[in-house]
């Protein structure tokens, strides 16, 4: 309403000061541009349509501008039409351009927020494990004391059955608390083995939620020629597990029957490839894979391959951001030409995602692999 009022009073001032011969008629672009940048689409359409109507009205209904000698300032009709046309085109072009830029900025902001939420969730899960371990450690001594005292009471209350049952109940509940804490934590230890895992174990953990969804998920690991056959032990970082899980989810969603997860390593690098036998990425968006709000793959009929939900296009963006933060370089490609017929396609015909890390960024240090568990102090 404020912009509409500004537009109306500006149009009135232009009408009483020469109409389109007034060079300040260009200011009619300002309210529409501001609306396109900051307000919703419906408001921008209303303001844009109103601005076009008012500038058209000013071309026919206006008080002429007079010069110092009292004569009217007049311009050729062709020039006046050109002024009108340029303002109308400016309203349309600037509003559309500003709208697109504003939407890209908001999309990036929403995508960043989604990434931060995913990282915060993983961090909370990690912190929760530490809190449980600390609680188990701190409560171990009181529970042991309760059990010891209850056992002493049971011996002294053998001739009082009612009180004996109460003492036995206290002991049983103390044992139950001990068992619960044992299941939830690691007896007050920050277990270093949970911070690292063999490469294939980390891959299976990332794929675990999607291996039973009706598609075959095949794993393979191998050293690069001339490298050690010993499988590396990598850092089990939440962003790596979460990022790989998103990539595997996309592959399972769009695969026809099979997903391949392959890992290679050498002394200098570790590479992970995720492939499927689906249709692959459309050529028109493959250059934008990893950008926020890009819905990547469509079937020949124009519908998504996963009709059970409508994605926001953030999955690949979040996975790419998380993995790049861990030091990975990601490559997105198609295994074969997406325009081949189903009969011409080889077995591995879908999308390929490759993540490559420098070995020093992913392999767990020897001090971590061989170190002793650390006590959690609160």
Residue 35 in tokens: 């609306």
Q: What is the pLDDT of residue 294?
A: 60
Spatial distance between the Cα atoms of 316 and 324, rounded to a whole number of angstroms? 12
Dihedral angle computed from the Cα positions of residues 338, 240, 315 and 259, in that order, rounded to the nearest 10 degrees: 40
Spatial distance between the Cα atoms of 333 and 249, rounded to a whole number of angstroms? 17
Q: What is the pLDDT of residue 309?
A: 42
Q: What is the pLDDT of residue 338?
A: 59
Q: Which residues contact 261 (CB under 8 A, 6 or more apart)?
A: 203, 207, 217, 218, 219, 220, 248, 272, 273, 274
Q: What is the mean pLDDT of each run of 10 residues along the chain (378 residues)?
A: 89 86 85 86 88 88 80 80 88 87 78 71 66 69 84 84 85 83 55 73 89 89 87 85 88 89 92 89 76 52 44 69 86 75 69 90 68 48
Spacing of C-alpha 42 from chain mean position? 28
Q: What is the pLDDT of residue 217?
A: 92
Contact 296, 313 (CB under 8 A): yes
User: Which residue ranges make up each domain of the chain?
Assistant: 2-111, 126-191, 194-366
Contact 305, 255 (CB under 8 A): no
Q: What is the pLDDT of residue 37?
A: 85
Grouping H, G, I as helix, E, B as strand and the rest as coil, residue 280 is: coil
Q: What is the pLDDT of residue 273?
A: 93
Longest Cα pair distance anywhere in the chain, in angstroms?
Answer: 125
Q: What is the pLDDT of residue 174?
A: 85
Query: Residue written as tokens 């049952």?
Result: 165
Spatial distance between the Cα atoms of 178 and 143, rounded to a whole number of angstroms? 7
Contact 280, 307 (CB under 8 A): no
Q: What is the dihedral sign for C-alpha 364, 369, 372, 376?
A: positive
Spatial distance between the Cα atoms of 185 and 294, rounded to a whole number of angstroms? 41
Q: What is the pLDDT of residue 69?
A: 79
Contact 216, 255 (CB under 8 A): no
**Distance, first Cα to last Cα, the chain:** 57
Residue 98 in tokens: 């500003």
Please say whether the structural domain 194-366 has been given the CATH code 3.40.710.10: no
Q: What is the pLDDT of residue 214?
A: 86
Contact 99, 41 (CB under 8 A): yes
Q: What is the pLDDT of residue 299?
A: 44
């Amino acid at each position: 309403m404020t912009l509409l009022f500004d537009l109306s009073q500006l149009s009135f001032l232009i009408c009483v000061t020469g109409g389109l011969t007034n060079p300040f008629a260009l200011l009619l672009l300002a309210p529409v541009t501001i609306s396109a940048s900051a307000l919703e689409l419906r408001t921008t359409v209303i303001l844009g349509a109103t601005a076009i109507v008012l500038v058209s009205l000013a071309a026919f209904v206006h008080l002429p501008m007079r010069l110092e000698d009292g004569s009217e300032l007049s311009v050729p009709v062709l020039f006046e039409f050109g002024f009108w046309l340029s303002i109308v085109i400016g309203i349309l072009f600037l509003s559309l351009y500003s709208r697109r830029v504003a939407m890209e900025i908001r999309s990036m902001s929403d995508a960043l927020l989604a990434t931060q939420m995913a990282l915060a969730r993983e961090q909370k899960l990690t912190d929760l494990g530490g809190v449980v371990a600390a609680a188990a450690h701190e409560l171990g001594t009181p529970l042991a004391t309760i059990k010891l005292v209850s056992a002493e009471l049971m011996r002294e209350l053998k001739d009082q059955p009612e009180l004996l049952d109460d003492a036995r109940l206290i002991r049983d509940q103390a044992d139950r608390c001990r068992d619960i804490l044992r299941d939830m934590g690691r007896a007050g230890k920050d277990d270093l083995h949970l911070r690292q895992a063999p490469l294939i174990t980390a891959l299976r953990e990332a794929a675990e939620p999607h291996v039973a969804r009706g598609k075959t998920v095949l794993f393979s690991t191998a050293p690069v020629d001339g490298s050690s056959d010993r499988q590396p032990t990598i850092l089990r970082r939440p962003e790596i597990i979460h990022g790989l899980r998103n990539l595997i989810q996309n592959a399972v969603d769009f695969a026809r029957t099979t997903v391949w997860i392959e890992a290679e390593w050498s002394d200098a690098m570790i590479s992970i490839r995720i492939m499927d036998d689906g249709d692959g990425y459309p050529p028109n968006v493959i250059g934008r894979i990893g950008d926020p709000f890009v819905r990547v793959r469509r079937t020949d009929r124009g519908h998504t391959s996963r009709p059970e939900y409508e994605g926001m296009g953030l999955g690949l963006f979040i996975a790419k951001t998380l993995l790049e933060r861990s030091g990975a370089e990601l490559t997105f490609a198609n295994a074969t030409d997406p325009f081949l017929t189903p009969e011409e396609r080889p077995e591995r015909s879908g999308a390929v995602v490759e993540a490559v890390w420098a070995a020093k960024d992913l392999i767990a240090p020897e001090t971590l692999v061989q170190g002793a568990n650390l006590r959690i102090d609160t």
